[in-house]
Homo-oligomer: A and B are copies of this chain.
Amino acid sequence: MSSAAPRWKTALTKGLEKSKMAVFQLATVDPNGSPHVRSCINREFIAPQNFPSLPLLVSTTDTRTPKVTQILSQTRVETVFWVEGTMEQYRISGFASVIPAPSHALYHHFESSRGPAFAALKDEGFDWEAKRREVFDYLGGHMRATWCRPIPGSEPESGHVDAKAWPESVCKLGEARTDQEKEHVDTAIERFALLVIDPEEVDYVELGVIPNQRTTFRRTEDGWVEKAVVP
């Protein structure tokens, strides 16, 4: 494996620098074979120290959302980043893993996550639970409060959405003072999960240059194989 970060990752990171948020769209398939897609935020890239050529995309989710069920039934996913400033598109296909609390019923699915990046991180002693808690604390209090709401997308039992019944903000881990604050943070961290995407193929289209360029990258045992293709 090459010891350098793949060219698509360097270009994507540069393209995203001017964006407020690293928004991408994640496509999944449900058990009926219907596609679904929604916007997510890439919080960071994580790569094994010895293998920068194997970056993972790290986003967050709620274990109660339909996309988690979809990913568990079909781990193959595709994401797309549209970088408006540079008129570039990155389509990244690979495998998704949901990393919940170790105490969560879905945790055993994560333990079976495969692929060279996860294997290398395991060898290096990477602590996913510490990373999960670090990302949780990095989010804003308002965002953390979303994990204390009823199931996202559900109809409230009362028939109407009563946002006042939900906490507006949830504090960081270890910063809860009252019993209620502690209850909220415990509830939120139990439902909070990392959503990690392990890229296998990347389709990089540059529409900001004339003539347009398009490059495909495929991960192999010998590193990323790059090919210029018809845009």
Contacts and interface: CB of A to CB of B under 8 A. Distances in A.
A46 to B, nearest CB: 22
A28 B35 contact: yes
A74 interface: yes
B23 A82 contact: yes
A212 B26 CA distance: 21
Contacts of A213: 161
Given A27-B35, A29-B34, A230 B152 contact: yes
Contacts of A160: 228
B76 A34 contact: yes
Contacts of A37: 25-27, 35, 37, 78-80, 91
A93 B149 CA distance: 25
A91 B168 CA distance: 25
Contacts of A146: 212, 231
Given A35-B28, A78-B36, A211-B163, A230 B150 contact: yes
A88 to B, nearest CB: 10
A111 to B, nearest CB: 24
Interface residues of A, number: 53
Interface string A12-43: 00000000100101111100011111110000
Contacts of A155: 227-230
Contacts of A230: 149-156, 161
Contact of A29 (B29, B212, B214): B29
Interface string A190-208: 0000000000000100000
A77 interface: yes
6 contacts: A25-B37, A34-B74, A34-B78, A36-B93, A39-B80, A161-B228
Closest 7 CB pairs of A and B: A163-B211, A27-B37, A27-B27, A27-B35, A25-B25, A39-B82, A161-B228
Given A156-B229, A163-B211, 18 more contacts: A23-B84, A25-B82, A34-B93, A35-B74, A36-B78, A36-B91, A37-B91, A39-B80, A39-B82, A146-B212, A150-B230, A154-B229, A155-B230, A156-B230, A160-B228, A161-B214, A161-B230, A163-B212
